[in-house]
Structure 1
Amino acid sequence: MNPPRKPLFSRRLGRFRWDRSALVLLLLFAMLVAGRAWLAEHPEHDPWAPLNLNDPPGWATRAKLAALADDVPACHAVLERSGIAFGALPAAGEGTCARLDRTRLDRFPFSPDRPPTTCQVAIALVLWQRDVVEPAAQEQFGQGVARIEHLGAFSCRRLYGRDTGAWSEHATGNAVDIAGFVLADGTRISVLRDWAGEGVKAAFLRRVRDGGCRSFSTVLSPDYNAAHADHFHFDMGARRGGVCR
């Protein structure tokens, strides 16, 4: 006479070790399915979803932007996918100051001109303007920003213009210096004139400085040193942990 077969599941679910293992696996599978469904609805948090600047900023946005450092075609594809007007200019310069990536934002409100930067800097500028500058201006002044004044992007030089030492991110256009903002009604906000104090302009400047740290790898302001008394320095240099001063 054959011995009775043991049931795969006990009448009291969870009594056997196999029951517990099966429940854990089922639970993990359900969580995986739910997680993938949630990420599909929130691509800004999905590290595998292509970066699209029309999505709100998410957990994965900064990592996706950093991954574009050595892939200019993929970076340009992000701008195209996002509907951002830009121009890809011919390479220029040579040696340490060679600029293989010269990307110009065609509709960014730069003043007095629109300097070419690396594509990474261009994307970081778009995110910063949309998610930081404009909301701050609307909340603190009740109007938008008409112009963002800059001091340039490219400068073939070492840090602080020294004869020796590390090269500046400006040497390849991987940085931009922001000097001020002009609101829709013509009000001007200057880093040099308005940084100090407790007024609304100073608060706005600190807010846009702090917000820049979410997009750029390095943000330097008058709080950093006297060399930045009249501007914010933004760059996309590969620095572990970044700098936000």
Structure 2
Amino acid sequence: MLVCLAGLAAGVGLWSGYLPVPPQYNPFAPIDLTAPPNLLARFKLYRLKHDRALCLQALARTDAEFRPLEDQPGGQCPLVNIVRLSRAGAGFSRSFTASCPLAAAWEIFRHNTLQQAARAHFGQPVARVDHVGTYACRNVYNRPHARRSEHARANAIDVTGFVLADGTLISVQRDWNSKGQPAKAAFLRDIHQGACRAFNVVLGPDHNAAHANHFHFDMGSYWTCR
């Protein structure tokens, strides 16, 4: 009983701000999407799913170029808590609609994995990310009786490649197992592993044939890194 009361008191103290805890270690403090993710990052990202204002506030503290979109509650695949993301440090092959938590996770990924890996392997940043979309009103693998894909909620993105500042293209399909371009293969491996710290689900070419040409990142309800 005393342990429960102590835990409750600590929680109230953290939430109210009476306990002086650094923001990165306070589960109730707003998430800093540019900071390295710690054990509380997933909880803080989960809070953004149900708090549109908090999510937009977190994105606004970065240099991402985005605009909030109105919810689209009708139809077979309703969209809620969504934004249009046009640029996040690097550009994109095209802008896209994303759930706000997916956009937030992308910010963690690009600040703490994407650009760091590019500079480590090539001495220059990524200038553009190539992708094949986020939103598609469909089931997983388009199977008639499967559950809805996270793409049906704009809660997933499929990334096919990266273009460096000097114009060099790194392709997931071509370079994942490249023997002639080991730096590109190593970069993609680092991207895959680093993405697992930001997104709930990360699938790559080693997962199955359907992902041979892209990375799948999503903010679904379970965690896996394959």
TM over 0.5: yes
1:101 aligns with 2:81: yes
Q: Which amino acid aligns with 1:49?
A: A
Answer 1 or 2: which has greater strand percent: 2
Gaps of at least 5 residues in structure 2 are 1-12, 14-18
The aligned counterpart of 1:149 is 130
- CA separation in 1, counterparts of 2:191 and 2:62? 23
Deviations 1:107-145 (A, max 9, x none): 223432110100000011111011001010101101100
Cα displacement (A) at 1:89 = 1.6
Q: Which amino acid aligns with 2:159?
A: I
Which range moves more in the overlay, 52-61 or 201-210?
52-61
Asked if the contact 1:218/1:237 (under 8 Å) is kept, the reply is yes
Instruction: Answer 1 or 2: higher relative contact order, Cα 8 Å, separation at least 6.
Output: 2
Asked if the contact 1:45/1:61 (under 8 Å) is kept, the reply is no
Asked if the contact 1:192/1:230 (under 8 Å) is kept, the reply is yes
**Residue 66 of structure 1, aligned match among 41, 46, 51:** 46
Q: CA RMSD in A?
A: 1.8
The percent of aligned pairs where both chains have the same amino acid is: 43
The aligned counterpart of 1:232 is 215
Q: Secondary structure at the match of 1:179?
A: strand
Cα displacement (A) at 1:164 = 1.6
**Residue 168 of structure 1, aligned match among 149, 171, 188:** 149
Q: Normalising by the residue count of structure 1, what TM-score does the alignment of the two structures yield?
A: 0.78
Q: Secondary structure at the match of 1:113?
A: strand
Q: Secondary structure at the match of 2:147?
A: coil
The aligned counterpart of 2:4 is none
- CA separation in 2, counterparts of 1:147 and 1:128? 14
Greater radius of gyration (CA) = 1
Q: Secondary structure at the match of 2:116?
A: helix
Deviations 1:202-239 (A, max 9, x none): 11001001101101000000110000000000000011
**Residue 113 of structure 2, aligned match among 109, 128, 132:** 132
| 1:47-62 equivalence runs, <5 A | 47-62=27-42
Asked if the contact 2:34/2:107 (under 8 Å) is kept, the reply is no
The aligned counterpart of 2:16 is none
Asked if the contact 1:110/1:150 (under 8 Å) is kept, the reply is no
1:114 aligns with 2:95: yes
Q: Secondary structure at the match of 2:98?
A: coil
The aligned counterpart of 1:185 is 166
Cα displacement (A) at 1:92 = 3.3
Q: Normalising by the residue count of structure 2, what TM-score does the alignment of the two structures yield?
A: 0.85
- CA separation in 2, counterparts of 1:211 and 1:218? 12
From the superposition, tell whether residues 186 and 155 of structure 1 become closer, same or farther in structure 2 (CA, over 3 Å): same
**Residue 193 of structure 2, aligned match among 188, 191, 210:** 210
Give aligned pairs, total. Answer: 206
- CA separation in 2, counterparts of 1:177 and 1:227? 11
| 1:8-19 equivalence runs, <5 A | none
- CA separation in 1, counterparts of 2:40 and 2:99? 21
- CA separation in 2, counterparts of 1:123 and 1:230? 24
From the superposition, tell whether residues 87 and 201 of structure 1 become closer, same or farther in structure 2 (CA, over 3 Å): same
Cα displacement (A) at 1:73 = 2.2
- CA separation in 1, counterparts of 2:183 and 2:131? 21
